Every structure is written in C-alpha cells, then in structure tokens.
Structure 1
Amino acid sequence: MAQAPSILILEDVDSTNAEARRRAEADQTGPLWIVARRQGEGRGRRGREWVSETGNLYATLLTTTHKAPAEAAQITFVAALAVADLICTFVPAPLITIKWPNDVMIEADKAAGILVESGAHETGGLWLAVGIGVNLAHAPSGAERPATAIGGHLKGEVRAAPTVAEAIEVLARHFAIWMDRWDTLGFEPIRDAWVARSRGLDQACTARLGHETVSGIADGVAADGSLRLKLADGSMRLISAGDVFFGADATGKAA
C-alpha cells in the first residue's frame, strides 16, 4: 500500500484546492490532506461558489501521479466512493447514491461535491488536487440544486453529525482503500462499485456541454469513465464532462 497521507487542518483558507495548488507549485508532492474549518473562496465545478459554512468538511488531497491525464481523471470516481463510504458511516446506506460523475446524494439531495484539478509537476508527472466538500451539519440554502446534510439523516445509533476532525479521519481511511484498489487492480472494479451505487444510468438524460445540449437515454459508464448516452437516432455519444440531468429532471431542472 502507498504512503498514508498526512492530515493538515487549517482554521481558515481561501480554498483548500487553491492551497493544494500553491503547495504543488512550490514542489510539494504529498500525499497530504489539506482541511479547512472555513473557506473564504470555496469553488465547485465550472467556477461556481461552494458555500462554506463552519461545521462542514472542506478537504483536498494533494498527491502526484505518473498516470496519463485521462487515466488520472478517474480519481474522481475513487473520491466519490470514499465519500459515499464516509456518509454510510453515519447515514443508512439505502439512502445514499452517486450521481454521475461525482455528486454524492442522500435521498436524491446533494450532500457532497468533488472538484479535481491538476497540473504538470516540476518533478515529473502530474499533481492532483482532489477537492471534496461534504455537508456534515448544515445544508446551504439557496443552492442551485437541492442540498442536504448528514446531520438530518443519522442512523438510529448515531447521536450527532461527525466533527470535521472525525470526518476527515474516516474519509482518509476509505479513500486510501479505494486508491490502493485502483492502483493495483485498475479502473474496472472502481467503475463496477461506482455503478452499483449510482442512479439514473437507464433513464432519460440531458447533458449540457457548454457549446451544446444533447439528450437521450443514459446507457451506463464506458471503460474510461465517460457517460454513455444513446441518442434518438440510435447513435452513442460519450460524455466526459458537463452538467447532466436524469429522469424527471432531464429537461434541465436541477438534479
């Protein structure tokens, strides 16, 4: 198994991904978990603001890899599985699903998001910043998509949502397990485990791709992690990135 990452908990930072980038550009290689109790400039996908209330988890794993960029991007599936395992520690497992590619949901509401950034490292290969935000105690109001928090769905034997320190220990442990599995066995077992926890992969689906919007029926996940989308003419489109809406939300409403 690879070296276990250290955990650094900061009181306040602009964003944990930004801090990871600074450290990578200063030749740090990790692995290191950077955690903030507060973020002033938290970001989600496509530059969206990530509301950062105190009491929730904001963490980034800084690490390096010599995988090709397309393969390295599969770490987002590793992260989604680790976050699902974190939430399962405190919330009944049947309530938890993953929405392509990496939103972790509790009863169809978003409980966590993941943002992976990367760049060339001075020592060779790529640095990766795997940013993870998990709503532990609070769900942001006014979010683009319906949100929830672990604290509202606790198992009967669990009395309170985890603290930041408790949550990062659980997340780091599960992330290491999935990371080791990916490194030793490849992407297929990661994809299979991800699919087992996903929803919407056989439903109507609309993908907003920036320059176009395409609709069809979701037809599973390709070998590289792309979403397979079967169009009305029977052709297959592979979606590697974009805003994706499933089922009743495939008209483009928030999902």
Structure 2
Amino acid sequence: MVHVAETGSTNQLALAAAASGEERPTWFLADVQTAGRGRRGKVWSTEPGNLSATLMLRDPAPATKIAELCFVSALAIDDAILTLAPDLESRLRLKWPNDGLIDGAKMIGILVEATTRGSLTHAVLGIGVNVRHHPGNAPYRTTSLNDEGFPVTRDQLFAALTASMMRALSVWNCGEGFAAIRAGWLARAAGLGQPIVVTHDKTRYEGIFAGLDPEGRLILDTPDGRQFLGVGEVSLMSQPMVH
C-alpha cells in the first residue's frame, strides 16, 4: 500500500505505477486529493478525513471486461460501509453507473480507468467517499457518513474496503462471475423500476429503468421502445411518467 499526505489524484499515482511496470496489486491512499477526477472530466477533491483510494490491478480480465469493475467497486464500498454502519442498509443505494447515495444525496464516487501496453492491461479502481465532509457547492445534494450520524473514520472504512474488495473480486472472478455482481448491484440500485432521465452529450432519454443487460448497460424502456445505454448521466425523477 502506498500512503501519501497529498496528491493531485490517486488514480494518477496508480497509472504512473502501472506505466513503471508495477506488477503487484497495490492500493494508493491519500489524505488530501486536490485534482481528483470523476467521469467525463468532473472534479472530485478530498478533504482530510474523507476517503480517496485507488486499487491498481495488473491484467485483471480481458479488456472487454474492465468496465465491469465499476460495479465490482460499487458493491465493495457499499459492503464496507454497511459493515461499519449496518443501519444504513435501507438508505444506501447505488446509482448507475458509478455513484453511491444516501437518501438520494451523493456520498460515493467511483472512477475506473485502464491503460494498455502491448498485450498487458492495468486497471485502476478509484473510490472516493465523503466520510467527514461533503461539498456545499455541488449542483446536486451531497452528504457524508458523519453528517448522517455515523462516526466512522477514514481508516476504519479503508480497512473494511480492502477486505470487501477482495471478496467482490473473488466473486467477479476475472469477469466469469459478473452475473452475480450484476444481480447484487441491481438489488441495491437507485431508481430501478422507476422513471429516470439519462443524458449524454445533447441527447436526452426518458423512460423506466428496467435493469442492466449482461454487459452492464442500462436498460431504459421509453415511449419509443427499449434502449440499451452504455454511457450517460442518470437523474432520478420523483413523479411517475405518463406513457
């Protein structure tokens, strides 16, 4: 494990280690992250007391399976949190493809990236959790474990995560067990069976969140038919849609 006081991004640390030829699975943990990245270039900064960690894996699966690690990571951090705060089970939900929410407020962000050199692929699994603090200037609701009344520490959560990640990766089994990961993720999915909006670039889809296909794509039942979406930003809707 590599622990630093401050870094721009734990994912960047992991990618640099991969480029240098590191072969061992390695965790990177930072007390402060100043230039963390979310999906589509969004910024994810980490204040002291929050969790910013990245796991680097060497050749974890065929390249076509790497995206599944986002769901593996989501289940791992969800399990880690519930180990320490089991009363959150009915309130903690996973939002496709890479967020974790408490009562609809964002608390978890995940970014999975990969780099390939020749036939060798390294995957980096970045996980950020608002443990002690949460941003007050985000364009959406946010929260933290401590603000929700759970006095968990960053170090406690990281220890639980390292154990739960090993279990989740074992279930995933280099992609052979994705069906079980998919089922576990769907059991905790925010908005399943409900109306949602998915936006990507300038395209907007509205429909009922019907599930995930075997590749992890979001299945959306729209008035124009069933859509299978591999990318996009999900917004949950509080009011039913009329078909």
Q: What TM-score, normalized to structure 1?
A: 0.87
The root-mean-square deviation of aligned C-alpha atoms, in Å, is 1.9
Alignment of 1:1-255 (within 5 A): 7-65=1-59, 67-91=61-85, 92=87, 93-121=89-117, 124-154=119-149, 160-162=151-153, 164-183=154-173, 186-233=177-224, 235-248=225-238
Contact 1:8/1:33 (8 A) holds in 2: yes
Q: 1:64 to 1:18 in 2, by over 3 A?
A: same
Contact 1:37/1:54 (8 A) holds in 2: yes
Cα distance between partner residues in 2 of 1:227 and 1:99: 11
Aligned residue for 1:150, secondary structure, equals coil
Q: Please state how far the C-alpha of 1:99 moved relative to its aligned partner.
A: 1.0
Find runs of 4+ consecutive structure 1 residues off by over 3 angstroms: none
Cα distance between partner residues in 1 of 2:43 and 2:4: 20
Unaligned residue ranges in structure 1 (runs of 5+): 1-6
Q: 1:66 to 1:138 in 2, by over 3 A?
A: closer
Contact 1:154/1:161 (8 A) holds in 2: no
Aligned to 1:3: none
Identical-pair percentage: 31
Q: Please state how far the C-alpha of 1:250 moved relative to its aligned partner.
A: 9.6
Q: 1:82 to 1:250 in 2, by over 3 A?
A: farther
Cα distance between partner residues in 2 of 1:249 and 1:229: 17
Q: Number of matched residues?
A: 238
Q: 1:135 to 1:250 in 2, by over 3 A?
A: farther
Cα distance between partner residues in 2 of 1:225 and 1:249: 26
Contact 1:205/1:250 (8 A) holds in 2: no
Q: What TM-score, normalized to structure 2?
A: 0.92
The AA in structure 2 aligned to 1:59 is: A
